[in-house]
Chain A
């Protein structure tokens, strides 16, 4: 098999994986702090994608430029969702949380179906079909911009958690719930803030993802599942792990499509998941419980 073909496919896989990583980052942030698994994660990304489609369709606004306002809108939705609906379920059994968030997801899917119908929608930006040639490698311009935007959002998120007082307070909540309460942190507010940050993250991922794929109301569950695979591979609650998991899954899908049967490439993500669960159950960068 020609080396330039492998290189082309690998570069595409890494770029896609970065966007996957950003999407999974939101799930990891929420679970790492609030300890609630967001089963409406893919649907929240779909909301972000539709917001980008509407803004592009109505006002011609580029989804990459709309990343900040859409993320802000999703932050508000996430904040309200946590404060009103999810917070009473934080200490309830996991199956109750599961049912609640699945119900939220179903409401979102059906709401989107009612609002937009079942047809696929996309954003045909002016650079949609552009590509760059670097030696033998042809890089899809959209994928490149999307990956760069995903990296920028991830860096901003890391900076927020490392450098800001709110970020440090959230990390304190994640590390020691009781200790955070003892020192007077408003844990409920911080939980809502964290859920908002996770939702903003996935909203931003939606704005980027809409450049790569067409959106329909039903695509959410597939991406919720993909996000789970990524965070479990990377390590539940680990932000660098989510990015690494994303890159690994993106790359494995691409190379599996090249070396094996393309129609079975999705299977390899699950093969990696099984391997990780067998050999390193806490995930590649996760901490042992």
Chain B
């Protein structure tokens, strides 16, 4: 009996052990998993995936934006953000399809929020991924209106839409004409044929008829984003005999345009952009020298008088002593502010949980800014409501603010001197 009892006890003990073991495994698994969920949601380090075109035709922009990300930690510490964050870098090679896969990889690598990408087409692709994965996406630079018109809940943009860009741009043109007393009668419009260029063209088509502009557009010429030669396009534009060249460009094409204009001896009253990059970038000045002067761009710009601008400028000059701040500030500024939005939301949310982060971003109210405009606040669609534009004109191979008057560094010049008259 004792033997049986021992056996039963032993068997019973075995059963209990197995049950205990199973229960223990279940409890252990639950206990093991639950804290991870909590740890994931309440991670102490915010991982920010910064996705940019660091190579390919937009490499300059991508690398310029990346500088904004590189100085973010130092500057944010100085303005009181002691939250820990880590930057995960990705290059989408100036290719929209690659942008989609890189965004997925960043999220798989643990990014809690994505920032980027300086490109409208890439922004649209990334937004689809972040919406599907329910990860917040703070768009630094991309103007295509549809980005914030699709009802996405995780997409936020601090940059203006192309409609706002062009509206501000056309108003800026009028300011220049009024200040100089000279008005062109005709214009030819040249634009890059990508998502950004087409969005700007659509905005011009929409706004121009009601804008009461003093000139009429004689012709619209679209060109390939990867064009390596714009001689035909410029010859065609020149043949219109337009007084003004209105351009929506990137960087390489802006350089090609001006080169061809010099070669073909085409001297309109001016070259003006109603809100596109290219003509205020460092590489534009380095490559074209004196021929880069007098081009006008109406774009969102930085306010050099703010404390944050001084901190960013100081950090930039320390980290990139060979680079020009004004030649990079547009890209640096919007990328830095996007990271600031993410870190600020992390600070308020106290968690990396994507839904909580998105909610916190939606409640953003950042008055301490670098770029011109009111506090960063997003509307229900995720669009920043307060972005202003400045009218820039290039003088002595650097962009100078000519409007608004309160920030003006120089008076506008229009019509501009001919190519042979440049000193």
Measured CB to CB, the residues of A under 8 A from B are 1-2, 5, 8-9, 12-13, 16, 113, 117-120, 122, 124, 128-131, 133, 138, 140-141, 143, 212-214, 216, 218-219, 222, 253-254, 257-258, 261-266
Contacts and interface: CB of A to CB of B under 8 A. Distances in A.
The CB with the most chain B CB atoms within 10 A, among A8, A140, A257, A262, is that of: A262
Contacts of B63: 119
A278 B227 CA distance: 29
A120 B55 CA distance: 10
Contacts of A2: 239
A129 B59 contact: no
A145 to B, nearest CB: 13
A212 B229 contact: yes
A119 B263 contact: no
A5 B233 CA distance: 11
B238 to A, nearest CB: 8
Nearest to B191: A263
Contact of B252 (A120, A140, A258, A266): A120
B284 interface: no
A262 B229 contact: no
B246 to A, nearest CB: 16
Given A12-B231, A129-B262, A5 B55 contact: no
Nearest to A143: B231
A261 to B, nearest CB: 7
7 contacts: A1-B239, A119-B60, A120-B57, A140-B264, A218-B55, A262-B221, A262-B233
A19 B265 CA distance: 24
B94 to A, nearest CB: 9
B193 A129 contact: no
A265 B265 CA distance: 24
Given A214-B228, A263-B193, 9 more contacts: A119-B59, A120-B59, A212-B228, A219-B228, A222-B226, A253-B232, A257-B236, A261-B222, A266-B224
Contacts of A128: 259
Given A122-B287, A124-B287, A140 B231 contact: yes
Contacts of B291: 129
Interface in B316-370: none
Interface residues of B, number: 30
Interface in B208-226: 221-224, 226
Contact of A214 (B252, B264, B265): B252
Contacts of A8: 235, 264
Interface in B80-122: none
Nearest to B225: A263
Interface string B46-73: 0000000011110110010000000000
Contacts of A214: 228, 252
A118 B263 contact: no
A265 B232 contact: yes
B265 A131 contact: yes
Contacts of B235: 5, 8-9, 12, 258
Contact of B236 (A130, A213, A258): A258
Contact of B228 (A119, A213, A257, A261): A213
A133 B265 CA distance: 10
A212 to B, nearest CB: 7
Given A5-B239, A122-B287, A262-B224, A257 B264 contact: no
A216 to B, nearest CB: 7
A113 B236 contact: no
A66 B7 CA distance: 96
B287 A138 contact: no
A39 B419 CA distance: 43
A251 to B, nearest CB: 11
Nearest to B221: A262
Nearest to A131: B263
A254 B232 contact: yes
Nearest to A113: B55
Which of B54, B55, B63 lies at the interface centre, i.e. has the most chain A CB atoms within 10 A of its CB? Answer: B55
Q: Give the residue among A113, A218, A219, A253 with the most B Cβ atoms within 10 A.
A: A218
Interface string B254-270: 00000100111100000
A216 B239 contact: no
Pairs A-B, 5 closest by C-beta atoms: A118-B55, A257-B232, A263-B193, A213-B228, A118-B59
Given A12-B231, A257-B233, A263 B55 contact: no
Most interface-central of B223, B232, B259 (chain A CB within 10 A) = B232
Interface in B179-196: 193
